[in-house]
């Protein structure tokens, strides 16, 4: 993988992870207003972004599995950090939406 392709993968991780987190934040705001179904739709969009982020990550992992060196840089570490935060944020958002839904139903 050339440097341009590596940068594309790294930026894909950052962008799609950021989109995941943004969709989750919007989902939480909707759930807080009682718009639970709309919030669940935002979570679906977040999951789609997360899949795209995973595709970028899988490309890097596959390269390394083939024995091709992946240059570890601060930018790659930053991208991985974004991905892990997005996953955690998505999981917590889903839990909170379920709580808002339960509160709304009472």
Please give the annotated binding residues for Mg(2+), written as ranges.
81
Which residues are documented as binding site? 81
Our answer to whether residue 55 is catalytic in this structure is no
3-class SS string, 49-63: HHHHHHHHHHHHHHH
Give yes or no for a contact between 97 and 43, defined as CB atoms under 8 angstroms apart: yes
Phi, psi dihedral angles at 73 (to 5 degrees): -130, 170
Give yes or no for a contact between 82 and 17, defined as CB atoms under 8 angstroms apart: yes
List the catalytic residue out of 16, 54, 78, 82: 78
Type and span of the H or E element at 96: helix 74-105
For the annotated catalytic residues, the residue numbers are 78
């Amino acid at each position: 993988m050339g440097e341009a392709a590596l940068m594309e993968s790294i930026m894909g991780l950052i962008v799609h992870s950021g989109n995941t987190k943004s969709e989750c934040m919007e989902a939480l705001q909707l759930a807080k207003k009682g718009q639970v179904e709309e919030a669940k739709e935002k979570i679906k969009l977040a999951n789609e972004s997360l899949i795209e982020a995973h595709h970028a990550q899988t490309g890097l992992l596959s390269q390394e599995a083939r024995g091709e060196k992946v240059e570890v840089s601060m930018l790659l570490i930053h991208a991985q950090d974004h991905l892990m935060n997005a996953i955690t944020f998505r999981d917590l958002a889903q839990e909170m939406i379920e709580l808002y839904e339960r509160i709304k139903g009472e």
